Structure 1
Amino acid sequence: MPVIKILPHPEYCPQGAEISAPAGTSICEAMLDNHINIEHACDMSCACTTCHVIVREGFQSLGELDENEEDLLDRAWGLEPQSRLGCQALLAQTNVTVEIPKYTINHAKENH
């Protein structure tokens, strides 16, 4: 099972974490299943950017971005070449390291 290393984030994961999830699971689902409550305002339907993550290691293993994800990422805060939407980035058999950006663009932040 691939391991996701999550770099420290002051709100969602202050100490950082290492979690595992089966291949085919999205990064967002894996985080939520492990009590890392990353925002996901659209319920993981690829309609917002609140689950934006930056993949620091293992980016190539996640597969191609589709056009809808690319268009949405253009609106994400702190966009980098290794940015993905956590809800669309499906794990393969390779470990990944992700960083949750400091800010999101969420006009109606929810408590999850």
Structure 2
Amino acid sequence: MPRIVVLPHETLCPEGAEFDAPEGQSLCDALLDNQVEIDHACGKCNACSTCHVVIREGFDSLSPPSEREEDMLDRAWGLEDTSRLSCQAKIGEEDLVVEIPRYSVNRVRERG
């Protein structure tokens, strides 16, 4: 089972996190299952960019992004070459190092 290392994030996991996750699970579900409360305003249906992450190690082991995911990523804050929407990225065989960007564009939370 691949090991997921989440780099420290000021509010979501100040100490960082480390856990195992099954292949084929979405990265978002793996994060949520392990108490890393990443935003997912659209309900994980690829309709926003709130679950944006940057993969620091293991990027090529993830499922390839769809054209729709790539379009949604264009809306993300802090976009990098190894950015993914965690709700769409399926975990592969390799360990991952994940960084959650400092900011997220979450229009649902910003309205309320």
Size of the aligned set, in residue pairs, is 110
SS at 1:25 equivalent: coil
Match of 1:2 in 2: 2
RMSD: 1.0
| Runs of 4+ with deviation above 4 angstroms | none
**Distance between the aligned counterparts of 1:46 and 1:87, measured in 2?**
7
Percent sequence identity is: 55
**Distance between the aligned counterparts of 1:30 and 1:63, measured in 2?**
15
Amino acid at match of 2:56: R
| C-alpha distance after superposition, 1:50-102 (max 9, x if no partner) | 00000000000003111000000011000000000000110011100000000
Match of 2:67 in 1: 67
Match of 2:52 in 1: 52
**Distance between the aligned counterparts of 2:59 and 2:52, measured in 1?**
14
When normalised by structure 2's length, the TM-score is: 0.95
Indicate yes or no: 2:45 matched with 1:32.
no
Amino acid at match of 1:78: G
**Distance between the aligned counterparts of 1:51 and 1:108, measured in 2?**
13
Amino acid at match of 2:103: Y
**Distance between the aligned counterparts of 1:72 and 1:32, measured in 2?**
21
**What runs of 5+ residues in structure 1 fail to find an aligned partner?**
none
When normalised by structure 1's length, the TM-score is: 0.95
